[in-house]
Amino acid sequence: MIEFRFAVGDLATTSFAYSPLQEAVFSLRCLRDPARYPHHRPWLRRIRPRLDGLDRELLSALVAPWLWVPDFLSPRPERARPSFAEQLEQVRATPEAIVVADFRATYRTQALPPVVARGLAEPSRFLVRVTDAIEAYWHACLVADWWPRVQSILEADLAYRGRVLAEQGAGALFPALDHRLSWTGSHLRLSTRDFNVPAPWTDVAIDGRGMVLLPTMFARGAQPLIDPSRPPVLMYPARGRATLSEEPPPVTGDALVRLLGRPRARLLMLLSEPASTTELAHRLGVTPSAVSQHLTVLYDAGLLNRTRSGRIVRYARTRLGDELCR
């Protein structure tokens, strides 16, 4: 059992965020153990040829056999929606001592992989190699056709969790993140009964540092950082992550097709969860401009609403849109 102790005011500084860098690094778990992540198999098949030009030996070594990853590679987001580039700069500034300590903590008593053991002899040069390898992997395998879909799932998760917290409170929020979590008084408890490896610690005080809750596509249950002295972070399975491998749903309602036309009917069916124009275009295999024209018509008809986050606009069905789809 791991217990997080909240003092007065700590719950008020608990927040949600998502991390593109964390998702990039955690996606390497798929390369080590693809059977654990069946919803990522279509993506793995697509990227396999692209991996040949990358530093695969190093990328594989960033994940321990029990799927732990060094803490410094998933820095706590400084805002709710950081960019990959700004988080990678955080990692590039990691002190040498932390790089060494985090790799050793990740591999525990097991011998370090040769590529890591050699690299840690010169930690500053090794850190450059690590960050360069992750950046190349991001651009070759993730940013174009994987991240837009994942980002939409994470955005939908944050919107849903915010509603649960606002309407039902922390007592309902935490158990909904993972059945192993329970909220009792001022303590958040995480059962470690089914952890692959025993947790290295069992108790942590929030102590005014705030806790950040991070949805991820690559966890079966809630998990903390390895080092309890770091600012508190709790990662949990993103809601709807299994939809990543789904094909766009067929439009079976003939009346809906006659009313809207097949492209707009298909878009309306897809938008049961918020999604951006780019993500919808990727899923449908068309251009973003074509999708944008149809979305504008559906929005003007009152079937969609839209919200903006920075430069990204996400669409979701209104109640009227839901009724039409039913």
Which residue segment(s) compose the domain that 96 sits in?
Answer: 19-145
β-sheet with 304-309: strand ranges across: 275-276, 312-317, 304-309
pTM over 0.85: no
Let me know: does 273 contact 287? Beta carbons within 8 Å. Answer: no
List of E strands, the chain? 2-5, 15-16, 181-184, 187-190, 203-205, 212-216, 223-224, 233-237, 275-276, 304-309, 312-317
Q: Indicate the pLDDT class of residue 68, thresholds 50, 70 and 90.
A: very high
CATH number of 279's domain: 1.10.10.10
Same structural domain, 47 and 134: yes
Does residue 71 surpass a pLDDT of 60?
yes
Same structural domain, 223 and 184: yes
* Average pLDDT, integer, range 25-40: 89
Q: Indicate the pLDDT class of residue 104, thresholds 50, 70 and 90.
A: very high
Closest CA to 316 of 272, 260, 278, 277: 272
Please write the tens of the pLDDT for every residue from 280-302: 887 777 888 888 999 999 999 99
The pLDDT assigned to 284 comes to: 78
Rg (CA), the chain: 21
**For the chain, what is the domain count?**
3
End-to-end CA distance of the chain: 44
Average pLDDT, the chain: 87
Please write the tens of the pLDDT for every residue from 213-261: 999 999 888 888 888 888 899 999 998 887 776 665 555 567 788 888 8
